[in-house]
Amino acid sequence: MDDPVTASTETERKYDVPEDAPIPELGALAAAVRQDRFTLRATYFDTPDGALGRSRMTLRRREGGHDAGWHLKTPGDDGRTEHHAPLADTLPSALHALVAELLGGQDLREVAQLVTERATTILLDDAGAGLAEIADDRVTATDLNTGTVRSWREWEAELMDAAPSDRQARAALLDSIEAELLAAGAVPSGSESKLARALGRSSLQ
């Protein structure tokens, strides 16, 4: 039997950034910061006719980092909902059940592979819990449909469990982070996701 699928809200903002831009310190925005580095390796899946992408969903198997496993991202009210299942060689049946109707009997196939060198800065509250994670990502992506390899650097600011629960306060925290990132040379990303960019698009739809 598969391990149960968990779900969480992913609220983030993405930015394009020059190769030589130093990520700002950000210590003034929180009680403390924690930093880490790791490599992420992800394979993304869709149907031959792109049924998941048209529905603004992404399905990936990812190794590395603190949340290795299978991830299905679906549209949500405050960002996106991320459904997570533990790492396995094949798609867990519980995740497959969430998209089975959309697939309409089609098989899933690999559409992109990404390797991301990630350096993170985590903003901590007074109790040491995470408020937000700022990821400095250097990505190398292969479009498996065409064999095209694309590379880029981006920053992501994502809220964590200790972030405010009030939507206005959550937006204010992201606004304060964004001000620092823009001042350091970032601009809002022209692509909605890493997968879209790997496929040479601004959107999955």
Give the pLDDT confidence score for residue 79 in this predicted structure: 81
CA distances from residue 183 to 22, 179, 180 in whole angstroms, order as listed: 11, 6, 5
Radius of gyration of the chain, Cα coordinates, nearest whole angstrom: 17
Give the pLDDT confidence score for residue 204 in this predicted structure: 84
Predicted confidence band of residue 68 (pLDDT cuts 50, 70, 90): very high
Give the pLDDT confidence score for residue 14 in this predicted structure: 97
Taking the alpha carbons at both ends of the chain, their separation in whole angstroms is 34
Q: Is 1's pLDDT higher than 70?
A: no
pTM metric for this prediction: 0.93
pLDDT in tens, 78-101: 789 999 999 999 999 999 999 999
**Mean pLDDT, residues 186-196 taken together:** 94
Give the pLDDT confidence score for residue 119 in this predicted structure: 97
6-198, superfamily in CATH? Answer: Hypothetical Protein Pfu-838710-001 (2.40.320.10)
**Mean pLDDT, residues 2-8 taken together:** 82
Q: Of 91, 52, 102, 94, which Cα lies nearest the Cα of 73?
A: 52
Q: Which helix (H) or strand (E) holds 191?
A: none
Answer yes or no: are the C-beta atoms of 60 and 68 closer than 8 Å: no
How does strand 6-10 pair with strand 79-85? antiparallel
Predicted confidence band of residue 2 (pLDDT cuts 50, 70, 90): low
